[in-house]
Structure 1
């Protein structure tokens, strides 16, 4: 159900309406009262938007609203298409849309008209006949694309299948027109079949025509040590050895350092007493000093440098002679040979950059030995990206080898898959290049024209009979219409009949009506609406429908108000629906709204037994009864602005609109006609409506306007200024304009009390009804 209307903006008189926060939520049954032009019909149009699940953006481009449903869902102008309930609205728009009149029918000597679908169907029939006439002229010309499209099946597909078999698959497969046609899918599928990546396409083609004559390749692990070497060099150059003895010539010349160190060890190991180079005697003290020199921290660091450089050289040699490069492309499947060749070419650059960083590490070690052996150094920023580049290269090569091994191992299934993809690619590319789907689309349009118009041309009489049957099926519902009209008007002599050409005609007795009153139009349209609702009831959908009536008694006299009330009270509340409790009265709607400007109708409907019947809600103690019907009041608060509020208790407590109007006028006059009075904007309408009822009560036989009845009541027209004001105030349109009348409200209302003073008994009774004392107004 609809819980509340949170706000409405830029929609008729609802310029900026927002729920007050204190206004009760909508109930199962809802009564809405408001004077003419206060905004009732505009509100019903909001419900029509919910019925159609779209707004009238052309007429109301800036409309904004929000509707809260019982479960908290919010429906607004942007998502109204998701409104979840069925809605049916009866208002002036429904009457206009569902009751279309033709000119006087000379044969019938009366006015014929269409109801409901007939009002829309007959113009469509004429439009279709005009369309068919134009189609006859076009149909012979609309075969161009059918003929061009048929060329595909006739010859083009055969030729293309031969090209695919011989030129693309080297005649290794069987492929003909039938194979090609089985590969044609939707345009989306065809576009997805096209292989855009040229590398993938080359591979798939190679796999499609390759032979299984390759061996699997053993895959080794290739790990680089750059990061480890960088860390070792960093640790090495950060060391700061202590010099125990000094040998400047050896400290400054690494070659001499290595030569002497080796020589000392050789002489000691061979137990030589003379220098093997110069034959001089070896002085033991000198040998001891050299051993001490070579055993200190600096010497150890130099030994470490030799080991580091050897490791770096080994790393360089490993990757300069890596066995991956010794593989031939011919060892690989044809689809991978080009990829492998690219990787081999790429390696020279990868290896060069990698070894360059290794050589840089060697230079850093040598610089430490030569220039800063006893000083801590920090490793400069290195290009470590070469490590990830080399690792990626190794991974890519292994991936190629792994893919090759998979191809060798799964050659048959891989080739079948590749051939399938390649065939789909070739067929799809051909279809796109040849604009196959555009020809197909245009061909289907032409075929549709042919199917539709040939059928209509060849079976025109049958088609006309179909339309005639539709009209007759609608006019066959005259019995239901007449039933509701009888219930509506409580008359036997008014009924609808059907003409020879399936129009409706209204009869009064046996005489065809030559014109229809507004009340009869309302009765016919309302009856049609009720027939629609009855159809919903029969299909079980009425119980899921929100129904909105906007002034269903418009243009009807007071005699019919009770009948309408009775009809609503009986139609929407029925027994025998609940199989477990046939005597239970069931609400035959999801939610019911009735708006009216007629207080008498509002009172009748409010007091109808089924409308005021309460509902039971579960509680912790069991169930309790609460009201199932809420009443609302639409009130104008400015010339072009209205609000929805709870029905005023003063109005709800009165059985008569007349007494309520008098209370408004009395309270306004009592407050010195202050512009701050909340009912200020309502007063012109209230005064006019009050005087209309008062003068009709006093003079029910005078059918003229208010001023003529006042003249008859007062006699001396000069006694009251009110006559001047109301001589131009005989239409509601004037009342809604805030012209000089609203500016002269104090003297106008004073005249009302002067007028009432002529009948003190009536005046005093009115005051008693609202618990007020009598005003005595001096006439000046």
Structure 2
């Protein structure tokens, strides 16, 4: 038997269900499931259908379930687990797949063993048992195959982990090891002794981390002015009528020269306002155009000479491979010396030019300096050669590391191939594969014999008689079944195809067809798990009782039974047979409640005591309303069922207090004296009970707060008007 649902995934409202943390008890042989519409009962029946082999299902793609059977766990994703326990399900999907053709008048033929065909039935049963034994043998051998493959895979994983640990590589896994193993033509040639292995590991784990150097800083040649430019500026003297006092005092000369710009357009003294034409003329002769030009040229040259050369940052010494470090150190030292000497020369030239500015009429000389550009070119060429040598060494180092690591990996791959246990495993797997082939051939032979027996059985089926007996019990003689010519059965009313059937008639013939189908092709009810979902849709009260006792008696011998319903009358009829007067269920019988949680997912819960003890769901509606009253949730979805539940409670309570056919709105004065309050309650219940009105209500109010307020009002009114009734309800549902 199915013991418990371990987990459900990707299955609509049951996605994420974890039976290991659920408070629901384990399944018994007989299981009753109660839940309101849209709580998830039909979806649960579809989840059970995942355990069948290749059966159509309306669940989302990828849906799967894990169910414990004894100490084993069946996983619907595994082909070997699907079909191990046959599960027969009656729900809307069964009706659509078998009966929704030509207005429900036709269905696939069923083939049931009659008294004259006991031999064929026994033959089919014997072949089925033999097929099960062969299947058990197949699974046993397949299990050994899986275990051997797992051991082989573990050996590969262990060796790959050891290799990865030695090399300090985290992403070396068993698939990488096996890929290398497939490329070894002579595995023995790749085995290494301990000393060689350690040397290669040390090489592969060399932490020297050198990266190629793509570019070196650009070092500019000596910038102008050069020695010839400086010599020319020092040698040249301007033509002028020198004023001795200015020539002897350079500071005064600069002061006067600066002040001349205030007298460019006037001969009046800018300081005292007196006529300064004569003095300005003398100054103009002293500071001639040639003087000003030469003075500006010298000043510009000094600015260029004193401008610092660009600093350069070369790779740090540790970034160079050891073989070129000494060379790089020596060349960079020479470059620093060249830069220092260049700075000294330019500083000397700048000093001479400053002296020239102080004595413009004096000619100066400068010492000759060698051309420094060739020396710099040699230094830079040696640096670039060192860079090329470094990059070549980096490439060779990476190649050596890869080669050493590859040899270590090939050593471990060879160990995997040459391990004595690996050879035995390969031989065993070859034997197992041959055994599986033989068992499969036997299974195919049995299947062919079973098909032949079923073919013979089909010619003399008594399924129509059994369906007719059930239809007479449920519908009387109005509808019957007969065998059609096209290997199908046909539903007949007064000699004609039974078109335009009512919903109740369709439900009845669907159930009858399902119950008879449980015995087709030699199936035994004792071997089947049966799940019946809401079998009383559109049936009146009399038929509800008939269907309940039909299921109880017809399915009593099945291996395990699940019945789910939203109908309280049907639920209580089954419960009355399965439980004692106090609501305690008999041994091997258990009941559950399916409930939608706040997040929209379904949960399988133990049946509350008040549902087990009482025959109506009046107590349960009261219990749910009190849950709303105490709720602190702010989610709108958590309260959408509140108006409907409040309506049901008011209809039941007020209908008992004032048993007239009028609507509950006319009876609200039993609870509320205030007309405004009665209108508020009625407006909330009526508008909230219909989809379009609910949307409007959500649009203009705080729906969670309004819902809690309305329930609070009803509860307070009930406690005030009928305190004994209220206190008993609270006690029975707490």
TM-score normalised by the chain length of structure 1: 0.42
Kindly indicate whether structure 1 or structure 2 has the higher relative contact order, using CA contacts under 8 Å at least 6 residues apart. 2
TM-score normalised by the chain length of structure 2: 0.44
